[in-house]
Structure 1
Amino acid sequence: MPLIQLQPHPFTVLPAHPSLPSRPTRPGARQVASTALQEALELLNSDLPTWEKDPKARRSSPAYAEIRLSRKWRKYEQTSESPSKRKPEFWVCRQSEHPDAAVAGSASWTEFEDGLRSEHAEHEMEYTPSVTGVERLLQWTEQEIGELDMNGVTFKDVDVEAIISPRSFISFTISATYDAHSNEPSHPSKGFMTVQIPLYADRFTTPTAIYEKIKSTVSKRTIFANYASVERVAKKNRPPEPSSQSGERHVYPPLIQWTMATTSDAGGSIPQWVQRNWTLGGVPRAIVADVGLFIDWTTKRRALA
């Protein structure tokens, strides 16, 4: 069973931690982070190029960038270890490219790092109206994980935590910076990545203290949703281009490529087909709107600096 999937995992999947029961089968934080980041690389570098692409570019003011959508139904093969039938997952991805510049309609690399890499959950709460709060349940230190090398990519500054939002997602989150030792254009050489994996809490698999903390954070009538995502922000250098008149070569600022792929289920009585629908305000429209929300929030922070 993969880590990055729509079906939520019990708390038993989490790495060893002083607040969790000790089990011989419980993996270490380094092992879990490595597995999740490897799955994320495979999704972005191998799987994503095969997704069905929306021919229409989208916009999200005040961002100037074109936003491209793609989608895929991800199916899981039946194996002897997982004989139960699992429903296909509807995944949608957006990708946009922004000039690396602190100007209207865009943001600099430093602003992307400060906004999306550092304190990711808290900042998402600030620029996304639907996120009204964040509560950390567990956290693992960078020292427990160290650097991770896989398939020519070195991950550093790896953060691992379990959080809950009053929006009613319980999420296991892994984030890291990376350097890729490859000249392939589909494998950006520098960036950072955040992976969110859904969890569920019950009295049987969740430690009592954590279970009670979750109950105190949300209302009694809360319907929990499931949400999985892979997000990557990468720097892409652009080669100099000759001027059409003088022949001089102009060097343009690098592009920042922002990719986010997600699958989700809001739960409750909202039909899945509504959640997938652009016109009815489903997930594709919501993730496009997030680009404009982030650029607007960044612009306002820049003005106050």
Structure 2
Amino acid sequence: MPLIRLQPHPFTSIPPHPSLPDDAPRPELRPYIIAALHEALDLLASIPSTFTADPKLRPSSPSQAKVKLLRKWRHLSSAEPATVPGAAGSGSAGPGAQNKTDSESNSRSRSEFWVCRQSEHVNARADGTASWAEFQEGLRTDHAQHEMEYTPTVSAVEKLLDWNEAHIGEIEVDGVTFKDVEMEVNLITHTFKPSFLISPRCFISLTISAAYHGHPSTPSSHGAEQPPTPEAPSFLTLQIPLHAAAPSTPPALLKTISASIPKRAVLANYASIERAELRSRSTSPSASGSSQSKTSSSYTEWTMATTSDAAGSIPQWVQRSWALGGVPKAVVADVGLFIGWTMRRRGTAAT
């Protein structure tokens, strides 16, 4: 089964860490990250051909950019091999190494509802948009912490594990060289209003982020193919859900998780991939302009795809609904939340 999936993985399936016991087979760190990045690139490459776009673009104030919303059903089969061999619970170990959650998930085919959004933002420190540097600072650096700052429902982020960047180094995947690769595990809590009606949701997320250059040309989010700016920076963040079932979670870590989860909280799951890349487009001069040559402008294309399950008593059909405020509406709103937060940080948002 793939790494980037809705069904959560046990802690026994992730690479070695000083806080994790070494009494079970674990995947090596670099092969694990390579496998995850390869899956992320494949998923991103499949968006134009496998996702269905909504007929109209969506606004997300105060962002000037409209948002393209896409959806798909992804079908996973128990016949799919494990992505990373050697991990307990990955499918390559014996049946006794798997916990009940994984055994149940691998015993039948599963379908995941994925939502994707794409938007194009003028590369400028201006109202309604953000510069490339601001995208890097806001989404690439301290990803989970910044998400808590611009997302009203995220009320807490507890870092459970992180891996030393120096131990990872540069990684090449599918001809792309990734640098500044980071990996960590966070416990993320969302709270909602009215709190007496909607219980908090807690997610255990393994996050991998990396920067890269020179990604191959791909269609832009609004149709026409636009090449990335030559050697311009790009970055990718992916999130893999984990679960904290007692048999596969070290007691000390389980104690930390239990102490951080608020009362009445429901453990939920999501997986996601997120990419930002700098692109350029050629524009023709205006009729009254004196220049006869085309000019070039740059913009950030921001893509995010996710699958999630809020669990508890919220039906899946409600979670999939735009009209009822489900995941499609939430991911579109995130664009405006990030741009508004960025404007406030630089002091240009309206008060």
TM-score, normalised to structure 1's length?
0.94
Query: What secondary structure sits across from 2:70 in the alignment?
Result: strand
Find the counterpart in structure 1 of residue 234 from structure 2.
191
Does 1:40 find its partner at 2:34? no
- Using the TM superposition, give the Cα deviation of residue 247 of structure 1 relative to its aligned residue in structure 2, in angstroms: 6.0
Q: Distance in 2 between matches of 1:255 and 1:174?
A: 24
Structure 2 counterpart SS, 1:134: strand
- The one-letter amino acid paired with 2:210 is A
Partner of 1:271: 315
Q: Is the aligned partner of 1:88 residue 2:111?
A: yes
- Offset of 1:159 from its aligned partner? 0.5
Aligned residue in 2 for 1:141: 164
Summarize the Cα distance change of 1:46–1:180 in structure 2 as closer, same or farther, 3 Å threshold: farther
Deviation at 1:19, TM superposition (A): 0.8
Structure 1 residue aligned with 2:73: 73
Pair 1:215-2:261 in alignment: no
TM-score (norm 2): 0.82
Shift of 1:49: 3.2
* Partner Cα distance (1:24, 1:5) in 2: 23
CA deviation profile, 1:142-183 (whole Å, cap 9, x unmatched): 111111112221110000000001220100000000123534
Cα RMSD over matched residues?
1.8
Question: In the TM superposition, what is the alpha-carbon distance from 1:35 to its structure 2 partner?
Answer: 0.9
Q: In structure 1, list runs of 5 or more residues that go unmatched.
A: none
Map of 2:333 onto structure 1: 289
> Contact 1:162 / 1:170 at 8 angstroms: preserved in 2?
yes
Cα distance change, pair 203–194 in 1 and its aligned pair in 2 (3 A): same
Q: For residues 50-102 of structure 1, give each alpha carbon's deviation from its aligned partner in whole angstroms, at most 9, with x where no partner exists.
A: 21111110001000101001100000134286762132000000000000000
Aligned mates of 2:80, 2:47 — CA distance in 1? 24
Indicate conservation of the 8 Å contact 1:243/1:250, yes or no: no
Matched, 1:102 2:136: no
Q: Distance in 2 between matches of 1:79 and 1:57?
A: 38
Identity of aligned residues (%): 53
Q: What is the distance in 1 between the residues matched to 2:214 and 2:343?
A: 30
The answer to which of 276-285 and 24-33 deviates more is 24-33
Alignment of 1:235-246 (within 5 A): 235-246=278-289
CA distance, structure 2, for counterparts of residue 293 and residue 303 of structure 1: 15
- Which runs of no fewer than 5 residues in structure 2 stay unpaired? 82-90, 92-105, 191-201, 221-226
Q: Which of 175, 182, 196 is matched with 1:152 structurally?
A: 175
Aligned partner of 2:214 in structure 1 is: 180
Q: Distance in 1 between matches of 2:47 and 2:296?
A: 30
Match of 2:298 among 248, 254, 257: 254
